Amino acid sequence: MEGGGAQYNPRTVEEVFRDFKGRRAGMIKALTTDVEEFYQQCDPEKENLCLYGFPSEQWEVNLPAEEVPPELPEPALGINFARDGMQEKDWLSLVAVHSDAWLLSVAFYFGARFGFDKADRKRLFNMINDLPTIFEIVTSGVAKKQTKDKSLVSNHSSNKSKSNSKVRESQAKHSKASQPKDEEQGLDEEDEDEHGETLCGACGENYASDEFWICCDACEKWFHGKCVKITPARAEHIKQYKCPSCSNKRARP
């Protein structure tokens, strides 16, 4: 397979996947460890900006390519314009979604350009799908941070207001690193006392402090996240949660 025509040999699935992983790692850095620098570079006063990831695991905020059509598919345009128009976590989540879409488009652009057949495309997608998306990584980080912040507050109101009912995770699980044992134990006991009699509206089991729960804004019943297929990351983006029962009632004519 060596020789003068080597540059025309199709790239392999493994090579495209390595390219994908490198670009993905760079974009994850921008949205997590380098997030302050990324935020500052996305100045809404500047022109349309894009977030690029490179195979070298580096990232860059820059103007889109001038040539049309560009060598590769282009990332979402103008991400900086939305920066100050929403909460930072929501903006980062939005950029993460577009970043995932761009990575897939680049990978399958290579697949088309280098003649991947059905089996190769399927294998490439399966390899990609085994990795968590950038969106999942960014939103799980936000959810963990917010839950940890909430666990520092000892005043647990019994009022199931919208601001407090969305995400309820283990106080012990997320506060061990930041609280003394006595305070941690007090939080656990207070949380158990308040919700110990609460039953899941789906399975009927009691509340447990080591499980994620969510409250329906319509009937105000609590549910295990696993029973209604809601994760902490997904709950962060639900403004008004309605359980399956309440959702079905509304759907009826």
User: Tens digit of pLDDT for each residue in 154-171?
Assistant: 344 444 444 444 444 433
Domain-terminating residue out of 121, 143, 165: 143
pLDDT band at 109 (very low <50, low <70, confident <90, very high): very high
- Whole-structure pTM value: 0.54
Q: What is the pLDDT of residue 141?
A: 65
Q: Is the C-alpha dihedral spanning 223, 226, 229, 234 positive or negative?
A: positive
Residue 3's SS3 state is coil
Are 213 and 99 found together in one domain? no
Residue 5 has pLDDT above 50, yes or no: no
Inside any domain, residue 235 = yes
Q: Which range of residues forms the domain containing residue 221?
A: 198-252
Read off the pLDDT of each residue in 204-231 and give the average, rounded to a whole number: 82
In a domain, 137, yes or no: yes
Q: 158 or 79: which carries more pLDDT confidence?
A: 79
Which pLDDT score, from 0 to 100, does residue 6 have? Answer: 36
Whether 233 and 134 share a structural domain: no
Same domain? For 24 and 99 the reply is yes
Domain annotation covers residue 217: yes
Residue 63 vs residue 177, higher pLDDT = 63
pLDDT score recorded for residue 185: 53
125 and 25 inside one domain: yes
Query: What does the alpha-carbon distance between residue 143 and residue 138 come to, in Å, rounded to a whole number?
Result: 9
Residue 249, pLDDT above cutoff 80? no
CB count, 10 Å around CB of 36? Answer: 8
Domain co-membership, 21 together with 103: yes
Are 28 and 116 members of one domain?
yes
Instruction: Point out the domain boundary residue: 117, 143, 169.
Output: 143
Sign, Cα dihedral of 137, 140, 146, 147? negative
Whether residue 32 sits in one domain with residue 137:
yes
Same domain, 33 and 138: yes
The position carrying tokens 């690193």 is 177
Q: What's the CA dihedral at 76, 230, 164, 212 to 10 degrees?
A: -120
pLDDT tens, residue by residue, 28-66: 999 999 999 999 999 999 999 999 999 999 999 999 988
* Closest C-alpha to 228, from 209, 212, 239: 212
**Checking DSSP bridges between strand 50-53 and strand 59-62, what pairing results, if any?**
antiparallel
CATH of the domain at 219: 3.30.40.10
Residue 252 pLDDT > 60, yes or no?
no
How far lies 70's CA from each of 41, 99, 179, in Å? Answer: 23, 17, 52
Domain shared by 128 and 206, yes or no:
no
Q: In terms of C-beta density within 10 A (0-12 exposed, 13-18 middle, 19 or more buried), how is residue 200 classed?
A: buried
Residue 77 or residue 201, greater confidence: 77
Mean pLDDT of 229-248: 81
- Burial of residue 162 (CB within 10 Å: 0-12, 13-18, 19+) is exposed
- Say if residue 126 is in the same domain as residue 44: yes
**Same structural domain, 203 and 135:** no
Q: Number of structural domains, the chain?
A: 2
Count Cβ atoms below 10 Å from residue 53 Cβ, excluding itself: 27
Residue of higher predicted confidence among 112 and 208: 112
Classify residue 181: in a domain, yes or no. no
Structure-token match 């997030």, residue found? 35
CA distance 135 to 96: 5
Q: Which of 111, 143, 175 is the last residue of a domain?
A: 143
- Whether residue 85 is contained in a domain is answered as yes
Instruction: Pick 212 or 185 by higher pLDDT.
Output: 212
Name the range with the highest mean pLDDT among 7-21, 105-119, 199-213.
105-119
Please tell me whether residues 28 and 137 are part of one structural domain. yes
Confidence of residue 236 (pLDDT cuts 50, 70, 90): confident
